[in-house]
Structure 1
């Protein structure tokens, strides 16, 4: 029997799974030399990949903290906040990459066959959508923890 979407409950595992998807998609995208030229690997794409991995790592750290007192709750919350901060950094790096590569595409003549190839373009909409999903889930997890553990902070 299925549960109506509005009645479904959120679980931290869903957030961890989505951060995994974001990290994997980011790595696949950044290692594709047709989308990200090799010359940008160390100055930009490595930072993008590191940020995506940090989002997942901090979410996993937050999930590994068993909350039984206020200190554990604060530690879990700190890891959640770090994950959200890395997500904001990832968004900024994604925007930089998109603007940089969009500028590169515009600086070359539009008549070349490679530049008119739609598979060469960075699929920013899929990537951004995945980032938005992860942000929503991390914020929902943080709010659920706030509601669940509000008695510990008294």
Structure 2
């Protein structure tokens, strides 16, 4: 008998925290790009003014998480590589907060439905929380 993916007992390891953080950042970026590209949600006439910033911020969250995940910190290179990785993680966290502010602007400006804003904001908060947990774990490991 097989176990469904969502019901598997996955251990809380540093590698899994990294994977989860990057996965949620990716899902947030994909959802944001789809939403901002939808002409039924954002009118084409007014889209570029705010949606460019929204997409750029969501993409930056994913790229910073991805890049931080690809920086390998070892005992030999810890002093050189850990600050870079930490800086990218911190920037991704700050960009999640920035994205929440931009969603807050888009809500009244484009008359977005409350459910859409709630789901989108929840995605940003989840990504931010996963990146924070990952960063806290790294601080514990490398400091």
TM-score normalized with structure 1 length: 0.78
- Corresponding residue of 2:113: 121
Per-residue deviation at 1:34? Answer: 0.8
**RMSD over aligned Cα, in angstroms?**
1.8
Aligned to 2:24: 18
2:86 alignment partner in structure 1: 77
**Could you tell me how far apart the structure 2 residues matched to 1:147 and 1:39 are?**
48
Taking the TM superposition and a 5 Å limit, the aligned residue runs for 1:1-154 are 2-3=8-9, 8-9=12-13, 10-68=16-74, 69-102=78-111, 121=113, 123-150=116-143
After the TM superposition, which of the residue ranges 139-148 and 62-71 deviates more from structure 2?
A: 62-71
Counterpart-to-counterpart distance in 1, 2:46 and 2:137 = 40
Q: Is the 8 A contact 2:92 2:128 kept in 1?
A: no
* The 10-residue stretch of structure 1 (25-34 or 38-47) with the greater mean CA deviation from structure 2: 38-47
Structure 2 residue runs without a partner (length 5+): none
Structure 1 consecutive aligned stretches of length 4 or more whose deviation exceeds 6 Å: none
Q: Deviations over 1:65-117 (max 9, x none)?
A: 11121221111000101111211111111100002123xxxxxxxxxxxxxxx
How many correspondences in the alignment?
131
Between structure 1 and structure 2, the one with the greater Rg is 1
TM-score w.r.t. the length of structure 2 is: 0.84
- Partner of 2:47: helix, strand, or coil? helix
Answer whether contact 1:55 1:86 (CA < 8 A) is retained. Answer: yes
